[in-house]
């Protein structure tokens, strides 16, 4: 027995965890600093942890498929209807749900290059295809409607990421409005705001009031520090009514994750402190790293270091894990997540030694 031909599906290769790297290098995991996955180094809100602990007595019960409490809370946070909120296992899950809702076999999506790999992978799962628009390094990865429209060829779904991964650039809001007004009626524009809490600009969610061709993705994996629980959501056009019930994987967003997310939403202080800390780390990286960097609106900084693979390997041997951006098509760049003060200082000191 063989699976069908899967050669067109790129395999998912996750960043390696601390335990795995520690074992390989014979190092103590406690001595390693992982700044390769844009996680929150301060972890989740203590209230989210308490919510998970108290939910542990209900593990035998299925979650509701509508995730009503979290959905309603998010709807009131963003001033949209509960039907517009699609709770999902991470933003990744929301990408899958959008593709199930939008793509027939052979339909195309348009994605940024360099950019987040999962958009194209997920499209393949439903037999969709993808093409790319380029963000140019020579123009500091600036994001504009014109640049995207130059590559646009009537695709069914168009992605933009703001702040962008791995560059940290934002898609200016006035450019987004002009993009939404320029697209063919059958095209959905998806704004991925996985790093939205760190951004200088407000969320695009309010643009849904006037634009029926927009969906926005958000996650609890980054500023809320809940990556391990896998919880995120999409906010979709009001006219989509009962589409969620037709595309979601039943019970995929688990009850512990939903309760943690609910508690996390009430702890504004924790998010503010996490964002402040990331701002400090960004500045520290710009000012102290002996390599050119790009200004970032995310919780990470892209730096040009020559041979990224060699630099990331050397750094890892010294106990600091950063992201080699070769897989993003940037073999001369690394991406460094914003750590705590101690982690960020150690990363800079280590990188400056190996550079
Ligand atoms: N979008 C972007 C741009 C990301 O960088 C990530 C995670 N690295 C995601 C979406 C997915 O996040 P999650 O599934 O953890 O919510």
- The terminus-to-terminus CA distance of the chain in angstroms comes to 50
Residue 76: its pLDDT value, please?
98
193-230 in b/e form (b: 16+ CB < 10 A) is: bbbbbbbeeebbbebbeebebbbbbbbbbbbbbbbebb
Query: Does ligand 1 lie within 6 Å of residue 227's CB atom?
Result: yes
Report the predicted TM-score, pTM, of the whole model to 2 decimal places: 0.97
Residue among 198, 202, 210, 102 nearest 159 (CA): 102
Q: How far apart are the CA of 94 and the centre of ligand 1, in A?
A: 10
193 lines ligand 1 (CB under 6 A): no
Task: Specify the pLDDT at position 12.
Answer: 82
Does the ipTM exceed 0.95? yes
Work out the mean pLDDT of the chain and round it to a whole number: 96
How distant, in Å, are the alpha carbons of 84, 97, 258 from that of 245?
12, 10, 17
pLDDT at 180: 97
Q: Which atom of ligand 1 is nearest to the CA of 221?
A: 15
Largest CA distance in the chain: 57
Residues 6 or more apart from 218 whose CB is under 8 A from it? Answer: 91, 193, 194, 196, 203, 232, 233, 234, 235
pLDDT at residue 238 in the model: 96
For residue 257, how far is its CA from the centre of ligand 1 (angstroms)? 16
Residue pair 340/39 in contact (Cβ under 8 Å)? The answer is no
Over range 102-125, report the average pLDDT. Answer: 97
- Give the whole-angstrom CA distance, residue 152 versus residue 139: 19
Cβ contacts of 328 within 8 Å, gap of 6 or more? 114, 115, 166
């Amino acid at each position: 027995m063989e699976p069908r031909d899967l050669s067109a599906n790129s395999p998912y290769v996750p960043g390696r965890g601390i335990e795995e790297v520690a074992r390989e290098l014979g190092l103590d995991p406690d001595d390693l600093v992982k700044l390769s996955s844009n996680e929150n180094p301060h972890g989740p809100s203590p209230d989210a942890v308490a919510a998970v602990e108290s939910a542990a007595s209900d593990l035998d019960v299925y979650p509701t498929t509508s995730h009503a409490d979290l959905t309603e809370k998010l709807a009131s946070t963003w001033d949209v209807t509960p039907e517009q909120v699609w709770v999902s296992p991470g933003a990744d899950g929301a990408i899958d749900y959008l593709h199930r809702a939008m793509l027939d076999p052979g339909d195309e999506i348009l994605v940024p290059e360099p950019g987040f790999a999962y958009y194209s992978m997920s499209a393949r799962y439903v037999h969709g295809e993808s093409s790319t628009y380029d963000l140019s390094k020579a123009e500091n990865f600036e994001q504009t409607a014109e640049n995207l429209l130059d590559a646009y060829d009537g695709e069914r779904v168009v992605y933009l990421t703001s702040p962008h991964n791995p560059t940290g650039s934002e898609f200016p809001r006035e450019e987004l409005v002009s993009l939404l007004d320029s697209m063919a009626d059958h095209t959905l524009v998806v704004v991925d705001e996985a790093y939205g809490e760190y951004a200088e600009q407000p969320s695009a969610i309010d643009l849904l009031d006037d634009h029926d061709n927009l969906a926005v993705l958000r996650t609890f994996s980054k500023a809320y520090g809940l990556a391990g629980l896998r919880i995120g959501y999409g906010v979709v056009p009001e006219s989509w009514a009962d589409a969620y019930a037709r595309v979601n994987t039943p019970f995929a967003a688990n009850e512990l994750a939903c309760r943690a997310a609910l508690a996390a939403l009430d702890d504004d202080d924790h998010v503010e402190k996490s964002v402040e800390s990331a701002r400090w780390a960004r500045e520290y990286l710009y000012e102290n790293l002996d390599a050119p960097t790009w200004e970032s609106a995310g919780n990470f900084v892209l730096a040009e270091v020559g041979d990224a693979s060699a630099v990331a390997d050397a750094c890892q041997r010294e106990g600091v894990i950063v992201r080699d951006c070769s897989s993003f098509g940037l073999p001369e760049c690394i991406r460094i997540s914003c750590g705590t003060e101690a982690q960020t200082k150690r990363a800079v000191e280590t990188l400056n030694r190996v550079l």
